[in-house]
């Protein structure tokens, strides 16, 4: 069973994807890490993020071991990832890899922006996780503070709005709700309530409980 989870920044899709993967004993791929890794490869090589040829080469040569690099996690890398991810050649280079992961025997949980629309259009379950921009900014603000990276709330909100607009307005695989996705608005839901709502959807489609 493939569970496709998409949504904007800090909607809680990664947290939900991890919990669903544990619950249903499926492998999980955070596809945002792939784009973050392409961006970090360019920054390490002192290349311009808008250099389409260098970005495509970095995507083609991506080493999966690199996905554990803690430098991928910061908010600056999220912004850089959103710049390189708008390039069609980067997306094309990462597509097969994601599809192979999704095709593993037992199934998989993938989260990102275009899983239900492009990477796994035939996924058994598609969830679009969202929340108001202000609530998402509060979550990310709290998260960054907890990690010892304090940033002003207004700056976090501005970053989220800019990234949402770039991800939704690009021509290549823009962020949008797949026709057959279930929308989970978590503005008023904590992570436990979002998990319960998601398992109700998955179990309704025949997902086995552990
Ligand atoms: O992966 P994405 O950027 O969509 O969000 P995340 O990193 O999974 O979640 C951002 C923060 O929101 C984390 O600190 C979560 O604990 C918190 N959160 C959540 O994941 N789900 C909710 N319904 C409420 C809060
Ligand atoms: O956790 P958060 O939502 O902040 O970021 P992420 O999921 O790690 O994604 C970082 C950036 O990568 C996004 O803003 C998108 O531009 C891009 N991305 C994408 O284009 N397609 C995906 N399937 C996943 C991420």
Q: How much is the ipTM here?
A: 0.97
To test the pocket of ligand 1, the residue of 5, 11, 15, 140 to mutate (highest count of ligand atoms within 8 Å of its CB) is 15
pLDDT tens, residue by residue, 121-171: 999 999 999 999 999 999 999 998 888 888 899 999 999 999 999 999 998
| Predicted pLDDT of residue 178 | 96
Per DSSP (E only), the strands in 90-193 are 108-112, 125-130, 182-185
In this prediction, residue 27 carries a pLDDT of 96
**pLDDT number for residue 207:** 64
* Residue 18 labelled as part of a binding site: no
Phi and psi at residue 85, in whole multiples of 5°? -70, -15
**What separation in angstroms does the CA of 132 have from each of 7, 85, 135?**
11, 23, 5
| Consecutive 10-residue averages of pLDDT for the chain (210 residues) | 96 98 97 97 95 95 91 89 95 95 93 98 97 97 88 94 92 93 97 98 75
Q: Which CATH architecture has domain 2-202?
A: 3-Layer(aba) Sandwich (3.40)
Domain ranges of the chain: 2-202
Residue 196 CA to ligand 2 center (angstroms) comes to 24
């Amino acid at each position: 069973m493939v569970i496709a989870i998409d949504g904007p920044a800090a909607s809680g899709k990664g947290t939900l994807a991890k919990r669903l993967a544990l619950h249903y004993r499926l492998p999980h791929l955070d596809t945002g890490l792939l784009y973050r890794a392409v961006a970090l490869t360019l920054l390490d090589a002192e290349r311009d993020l808008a250099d389409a040829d260098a970005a495509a080469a970095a995507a083609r040569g991506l080493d999966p071991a690199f996905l554990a690099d803690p430098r991928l996690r910061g908010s600056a890398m999220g912004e850089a990832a959103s710049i390189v991810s708008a390039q069609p050649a980067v997306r094309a280079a990462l597509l097969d890899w994601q599809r192979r992961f999704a095709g593993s025997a037992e199934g998989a949980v993938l989260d990102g922006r275009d899983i239900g629309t492009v990477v796994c259009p035939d996924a058994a379950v598609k969830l679009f996780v969202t929340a108001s921009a202000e609530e998402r900014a509060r979550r990310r603000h709290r998260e960054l503070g907890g990690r010892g990276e304090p940033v002003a709330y207004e700056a976090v909100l501005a970053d989220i709005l800019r990234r949402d607009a770039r991800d939704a307005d690009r021509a290549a695989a823009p962020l949008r709700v797949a026709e057959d996705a279930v929308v989970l608005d978590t503005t008023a839901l904590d992570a436990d309530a979002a998990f319960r709502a998601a398992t109700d959807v998955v179990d309704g489609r025949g997902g086995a409980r552990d």
